[in-house]
Amino acid sequence: MRAEKKVKRVSNVLRNLLIFNAIETKRLIAVVLCEMSSISARGRANTESQRAAISRVVALSPQRKTILEALDRVVQSPAFESSQRAQGFLRYVVERALDGELDRLKERVIGSAFFGREPDYDTGTDSIVRVTAMEVRKRLESYYGGGSGDNAVVFELPTGSYIPEIHLEMVDRRPSRATEPGPGAKPPEAPLTPRRRWVAYAGWTAALVIGLLWAGTAWFHPNAPKRTLRYLPWVALFNGPLPPQLVLADSGIGSLRYLQWFSLSVPVYANRSYMVPPSGLSPEYRDVWQQVAPKAYTSIVDARLATAYAPLAMAAGHEPVLRYARDLQLADFHSANNLILLGSSSSNPWVQLFQDQLDFQLELDQSRRVTVTVLHPKPGDPSSLSTDVSSGTTGVAYASLALINGLDGRGAVMIAQGTNMEGTDVAGNLAMTRPDELAAVLRGCGIQPTDLSARFEILLRLDATAGSTVKSSVLATRCRGGRSASTP
């Protein structure tokens, strides 16, 4: 029974990493900044294009399992079964693309890594990569042209490139093979099969929803980011020549602490001491540790919040600055830069630097429950709360949104943290996409939402169901340094 529990715990950690933490963060940051720089250089940068740039980066990661299952069907099909070389080549380029290793999808690198050629071999006289790529293109054409092209995932290998294009679609891309109509004849309408009917309904519904959102919600309203910037925390965070740096959580280390609890102080985190597995780990735990610890993972929630942050930065006249928690040093927190920290101290240990300013403190204990401690409870406030509701499960969770002073009293720091990822999502979105609701909460606790000198903390309760938040509510607030509330 104990062995079964260990296996279940390991599988839960891996599930969280693969489903919820599937973004390799360093590549996310590099590609996002590259996308944004190229857009800005073309002189066409705007809020929607920035959101689209980040969305393209994060879109495929949650669908990795679906994409690899589709890849298996392709390479095992009659179109590929006679060529193991073509099967392996297609699998190689698709997996490297999903891993973000685009630098390995060059002719010489493929020739060396996949075909075993010497690293400096002559690509002019040895055309093995080009010939195989051409063969793969023909086999893909045969696969999709031979009645197998109704897959939801479509692979293409563009001519002149070894970087595959992966399309997630729900419609048939193949041209019709029906008899061509005569001159002036009206082409016959394709029968509305149940699948096509479903696609049509989905399209109509999507169009209706997008139209309603465009007409009435802040997310699609072009002035929404500028309106958000009028209020705290953004009126304080964008006060200065440099934009605030958004620090993505180190979800890999958070999952390891859930797997095998250990104390994690700021010095230990800064020195990377956690890279060495603790003594006494079972072989299966050690294998997981060695796979997870060196890699830069963050949660899909942090990726979504980065998507929401981008238009705010652009509306303030800045390019978004994204950092990964593991890449920061203590010196970064003594500078005058404003910061946004996502995640609790379990997955973003830098939050510990500001514990002396926080009345609501979240901490993972040895029993793997997250405890919320209210250091100075007021009448009606809870003194302590705890939950073992992990990400993707159902139950009550908690979150905190805080705007406090930076170290040495310089700058401002926003911390959005939760007892699980749904909590961090609720706290971050309260600041980024629900400005009027946040402003009302701040007025209620006695500060002016446009006062850049004011500081606050908000403790939230949320009901989570299978990875989604059903509802959330404010449990307690702390507001200080502001003037009396009034309508801006």
Per-residue pLDDT of the chain (488 residues; tens, 9 = 90+): 454 554 455 445 444 444 344 445 545 555 444 444 444 444 333 444 434 433 443 456 557 788 888 899 999 999 999 999 999 999 999 888 877 666 678 899 899 989 999 888 989 899 999 999 999 999 999 998 866 555 678 888 988 888 888 876 543 333 333 334 444 444 444 444 433 333 333 443 333 333 333 333 333 344 567 778 889 999 999 988 888 999 999 988 888 887 777 888 888 888 888 788 877 778 878 888 888 888 878 888 888 898 889 889 989 988 888 999 988 988 888 887 899 999 988 889 999 999 999 999 998 888 878 889 999 999 988 888 888 777 767 889 999 999 999 988 888 999 999 998 899 999 999 999 888 899 999 999 999 999 989 999 999 999 887 667 778 899 999 998 754 333 33
Measure the CA–CA gap between 238 and 296, rounded to whole angstroms: 28
Measure the CA–CA gap between 80 and 139, rounded to whole angstroms: 6
Tokens representing 465?
A: 């169901």
The SS3 call for residue 172 is coil
Q: Cis peptide before 222, with omega less than 30 degrees from 0?
A: no
Measure the CA–CA gap between 292 and 286, rounded to whole angstroms: 10
Contacts 24+ apart (CB under 8 A), 370-378: 370/344, 370/346, 370/398, 370/419, 370/420, 372/398, 372/400, 372/419, 372/459, 374/459, 374/476, 377/476, 378/476
pTM of the model: 0.60
| b/e sequence 217-232, b meaning 16+ C-beta within 10 Å | eeeeeeebbeebbebb
Q: How many residues does the structure list for the chain?
A: 488
Q: State the SS3 of 194-241.
A: HHHHHHHHHHHHHHHHHHHHHHHCCCCCCCHHHHHCCCCCHHHHCCCC
Largest CA distance in the chain: 83
Per domain, the residue ranges of the chain are 60-175, 229-480
Q: What is the DSSP letter of 16?
A: I
∠ CA 258-263-268, rounded to 5°: 115
Element (H, E) at 484: none
CA-based nearest residue to 95, from 127, 70, 131:
70
Contact 89, 114 (CB under 8 A): yes
Contact 312, 229 (CB under 8 A): yes
